[in-house]
Structure 1
Amino acid sequence: MFKRIALFLATNLAVLILLGIVMSVLQNVFGIRLGNNGAILVMAAVFGFGGSLISLLSSKWIAKRTTGAYVITQPRNADEQWLLAAVRAQAQAAGIGMPEVAIYDAPEINAFATGANRNNSLVAVSTGLLRAMTRDEAEAVLAHEVSHVANGDMVTMALIQGVLNTFVLVAARVVGGWIDAMMSGGRESRGPGLFYFVTVFVLDIVFGLLASMIAMAFSRYREFRADAGGARLAGRPKMIAALKRLAQTYGESTLPKQVQAFGISGAVGHGLSRLMRSHPPLEERIAALQSAVDEPVRGSGRVVTR
């Protein structure tokens, strides 16, 4: 938790410095005043959405590089042949394009999905999952990941993060400008003073933590939704069995930070620490499935029953 907060503080300090440099250049070269809220909004949107969209567009490449995932093009054995067939059937049922299917070497039971859109995605499973899970359980995990793609979770997460980043940058600088003006007696002709930079730095941290809590709340919600989608595609008993298997063997995820939130199992917490975690507790996910109402699979008339 402390490492996560330290990383967040360092990132926001870097953003503050970079944004300050860019704002200064724009002010001096183009005559844009720092007090102009319109200019602040434009620059905040560039920084806020820019990083999120770049991360989204490069997510498949980053995931492959950071996990060392091997993309299956020609199946080398029965497991790989089964993986391709299972994902293909689920993608068709969910109404999305065929994802790339990959395997990465890790002892944990885990899988993830990522990609820029519903027809350009990647579904990857760990070698630990293939060793420890039955075919039915693995099928449910694949269905969970295909549901992430079908729900557009990667795009939605990027947009939410972009909006939150923009809000943080704008709100901190607008409030910082107000406080600086009050403390300096309405300074207008000169640039921002010390109170502005101190206030902006503090508010970047405070608003940023609040924004992270909102983003993680959505991340936890999409896990429940992907579980429900997995139950519709593979069958509720299989999805529940897969989550129970994860609960028996769960450990902290070793996935890289860039894709950790998209794994079927990830960081969970209780109490206040839960607010900064990407996944709800497995027991809550299992209980939600056990009490869910049956729904038809997307694009078909088939209803998954208890």
Structure 2
Amino acid sequence: MALFRRFGLFAITNIVVISTIAILVRVSGLGEYLEHSGISYSGLLLFCTIWGMGGAFISLLLSKIMVKMSMGVQIIDPKNASGWQRDLLVRVQRLAQGAGLPMPEVGYYQSPEINAFATGPSRDSALVAVSTGLLNGMDSSEVDGVLGHELTHVANGDMVTMTLVQGVVNSFVFFFAWIVSQIIASQLSRRDDEGRGGGGFFMQYMIQQVLVMVFGLLGSIVVAYVSRAREFRADAGGAKLAGRENMIRALERLKVAFSHDPIDQRGESIAALKISNRGGGLASLFATHPPLEERIAALRARAY
């Protein structure tokens, strides 16, 4: 049933994306321009949507494999676990049961940074991993708070949600980058008849790549905004699973650690998956996590 719901959500999202872009194209007059230029915008629209959404979902399906490789995650085997590994498994199992989740894969990775993350294509195929810095730098109640936060991400389906958001952004980026690059290249070619040959195609390609980067950068602001909202919900879920004070203590410990502890550069590509990251000023627009001060204040005010 969960599988059908996910595919249903995927299908509905694709329909909404295609419909929205189609309306924008018609209202803006781009449709007539494209048809006059001999371009099938409906075919282009379908291609960009499949390409954008498909790429995002392929990334989701490969997320566990890629994270394990990039961070050097070592999976804990329940049959051979002992000591702190057994304790970590027991904690995750207890909190997962409280969240109504099956037992996820549990792992750890060598890093002085105090952090953790959850990933995976579904609630039934999730991975929760913690850094050795977290295990060494937090007490048991703080670890529970972090684990509760990450398991709430899994319970809320945040990995799928963020994949859908990224897919929507990708679709818009690819579509409008292609259209705008076509318009610009066409106008430039009219001014230079010699540029109508292979140079015209190359020109459009280069313009298109620049626009993909520019539109992608703007689109990442939208993705980051949605991610920050999901973080508040994950904090609230962590508070329910592990206790509000434990969740607050975990965030306060992170705040202290982030003020002087080193950053693990390997984790830059999966920053959105972690319990927190750093950023301020203009960078806050692209931050996937709200400031720790705001998250702590929301928990204290029970603003969730």
Q: Unmatched 5+ residue regions in structure 2?
A: 1-36
Supply the RMSD in Å over aligned alpha carbons. Answer: 2.5
Q: Tell me which of 217, 220, 245 is aligned to 1:212.
A: 220
Aligned-pair distance for 1:222?
Answer: 1.6
Paired residue type of 1:99: P
Equivalent position of 1:264 in the other structure: 275
Change (3 A) 1:34 1:68: farther
Residues 111, 264 of structure 2: 8 Å contact kept: no
Change (3 A) 1:236 1:197: same
Task: Give distance in 1, aligned partners of 2:132 and 2:301.
Answer: 31
Task: Give distance in 1, aligned partners of 2:89 and 2:186.
Answer: 62
Matched, 1:53 2:57: yes
Q: Tell me which of 232, 256, 266 is aligned to 1:224.
A: 232
Task: Give distance in 2, aligned partners of 1:180 and 1:68.
Answer: 45
Task: Give distance in 1, aligned partners of 2:222 and 2:67.
Answer: 24
Residues 113, 263 of structure 1: 8 Å contact kept: yes
Residues 253, 260 of structure 1: 8 Å contact kept: no
Count of residues in Structure 1 that have an aligned counterpart in Structure 2: 260
Equivalent position of 1:125 in the other structure: 130
Instruction: Show the 5 A alignment for 1:1-306.
Output: 35-73=39-77, 74-181=79-186, 196-197=204-205, 199-250=207-258, 251=261, 252-266=263-277, 268-293=278-303
For the residue of structure 1 that corresponds to 2:252, the secondary structure is: helix
Bigger shift: residues 85-94 or 113-122: 85-94
Aligned-pair distance for 1:71?
Answer: 1.2
Paired residue type of 1:52: A
Task: Give distance in 2, aligned partners of 1:198 and 1:243.
Answer: 45
Bigger shift: residues 221-230 or 238-247: 221-230
Change (3 A) 1:135 1:175: same
Change (3 A) 1:205 1:211: same
Paired residue type of 2:228: R
For the residue of structure 2 that corresponds to 1:161, the secondary structure is: helix
More helix by share: 2
Aligned-pair distance for 1:41?
Answer: 1.7
Task: Give distance in 1, aligned partners of 2:91 and 2:165.
Answer: 31
Change (3 A) 1:65 1:202: closer
Paired residue type of 2:43: A
Superposed structure 1 runs of 4+ greater than 4 Å apart: 179-185, 189-199
* Identity fraction in percent: 46
Change (3 A) 1:202 1:234: same
Aligned-pair distance for 1:51?
Answer: 2.2
- TM-score between the two structures when normalised by the length of structure 2: 0.77
Paired residue type of 2:172: F
